[in-house]
Each structure stands twice: as structure tokens, then as C-alpha cells.
């Protein structure tokens, strides 16, 4: 099968399920810490290429959930700057297989990209391998294998300054 470089957030239950699915399909993984990688525009862009800007973002990231950042309001340059400044905002996982790059883990897309084989039938929750393994931890964020992540009506509207990443949110004293 394939050798895949897999960028994850260490300790993420969703990434653990995704790695298990890839390994069960016979792929070998070189696991790297997405948050500690020294990203540059040149190293991150190949993962983002061809995807709509809002899809570059992890919708469960605290700044997005809290309405402090609105990915839908950002230009590509602004979004890239945000992701480079705050890697927690990057949609996970990032995967590379040879010269090919992949963003996120929509099961059907990953299967078409590298193949997941019959391993999906044996994994619990295999119909939704993208997103948090503990949905109750992000009660207002939902991810579906066949659609983009979205928020429900309990999500606060973006704050008036949302959409810009130039400065981090104020810290509580």
C-alpha cells in the first residue's frame, strides 16, 4: 500500500481513528505533530490547493466556535496568515503521499485518494471519521462524512471584529 505522512494534533481522538483506518487498510504512517511543525506558506499551500478557503479551517477550533474568527470572511492571503500564526486553526489531518497532498478526512475522499478497503466495515464510527471523537465535547459543531462541517443555531454569531487573525483574542486577567 502507500506510505503517508500524517500531520495530527497529538491526543486527538478523531486523528487516532483516522490513523487506525489507514493502518487497517495496509498503509504505513509517518506521524508528525501539526502544531509543532514550522509551517511556511510554501509548505502549507500544497495541502490547501484547490479547496475553498473556509474548508481550510478546523471548525471546532476555540476561536471559531467562540465567534472570534469567521473563516467565511477571509481572503486566501488572510486565511493563510491565520493558519501560519495559529496552527490549531488548520483542518486536520494533513496528509502527504509522495507528491500528493490531502486536507481533512472525508472518508469517501480519502478512499478515492489512497484506498481504505474493507477496513472501514470493521471500525466503529467509520461513517464519520472526520471530526472530534467526542461529539459532546463540541456540542454545537457537527461534521458529516458527505458534507462540510457546520454549526447549528446555538453557535453565537461572529463578533463584530471576527474574520481577522492579526491579533489573538484578549486573554482573561
User: What does the pLDDT read at residue 156?
Assistant: 42
- Listing from the earlier edge strand, what are the strands of the sheet with 28-33? 28-33, 3-8, 94-97, 100-103
In a domain, 156, yes or no: no
In a domain, 141, yes or no: yes
Range of the domain at 24: 3-151
**Which residues are identified as catalytic?**
12
User: What does the pLDDT read at residue 108?
Assistant: 86
In a domain, 157, yes or no: no
In angstroms, rounded to a whole number, what is the distance separating the alpha carbons of residues 129 and 137? Answer: 16
In a domain, 170, yes or no: no
In a domain, 27, yes or no: yes
Q: Is the dihedral of CA 120, 51, 79, 97 positive or negative?
A: positive
User: What does the pLDDT read at residue 101?
Assistant: 97
User: What does the pLDDT read at residue 137?
Assistant: 41
User: What does the pLDDT read at residue 118?
Assistant: 74
In a domain, 172, yes or no: no
CATH number at residue 125: 3.40.30.10
Q: What is the domain count for the chain?
A: 1
User: What does the pLDDT read at residue 37?
Assistant: 98
In a domain, 75, yes or no: yes
User: What does the pLDDT read at residue 139?
Assistant: 36
pLDDT per residue, tens digit, the chain (173 aa), is 899 999 999 999 999 999 999 999 999 999 999 999 999 999 999 999 999 999 999 999 999 999 999 999 999 999 999 999 999 999 999 999 999 999 999 988 899 899 988 756 455 554 466 666 544 343 333 333 333 333 333 334 444 444 555 443 333 43
User: What does the pLDDT read at residue 91?
Assistant: 97
In a domain, 167, yes or no: no
User: What does the pLDDT read at residue 104?
Assistant: 96
Amino acid at each position: 500500500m502507500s506510505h503517508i505522512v500524517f500531520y495530527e494534533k497529538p491526543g486527538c481522538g478523531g486523528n487516532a481513528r483516522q490513523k487506525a483506518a489507514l493502518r487497517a487498510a495496509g498503509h504505513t504512517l509517518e506521524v508528525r505533530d501539526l502544531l509543532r511543525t514550522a509551517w511556511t506558506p510554501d509548505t502549507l499551500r500544497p495541502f490547501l490547493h484547490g479547496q475553498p478557503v473556509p474548508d481550510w479551517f478546523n471548525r471546532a477550533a476555540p476561536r471559531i466556535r467562540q465567534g472570534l474568527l469567521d473563516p467565511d470572511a477571509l481572503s486566501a492571503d488572510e486565511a493563510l496568515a491565520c493558519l501560519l500564526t495559529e496552527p490549531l486553526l488548520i483542518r486536520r489531518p494533513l496528509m502527504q503521499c509522495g507528491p500528493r497532498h490531502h486536507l481533512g478526512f472525508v472518508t469517501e475522499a480519502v478512499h478515492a485518494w489512497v484506498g481504505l478497503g474493507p477496513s472501514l466495515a470493521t471500525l466503529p464510527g467509520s461513517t464519520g471519521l472526520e471530526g472530534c471523537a467526542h461529539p459532546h465535547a463540541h456540542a454545537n459543531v457537527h461534521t458529516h462524512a458527505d458534507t462540510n462541517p457546520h454549526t447549528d443555531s446555538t453557535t453565537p454569531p461572529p463578533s463584530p471584529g471576527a474574520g481577522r487573525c492579526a491579533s489573538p483574542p484578549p486573554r482573561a486577567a
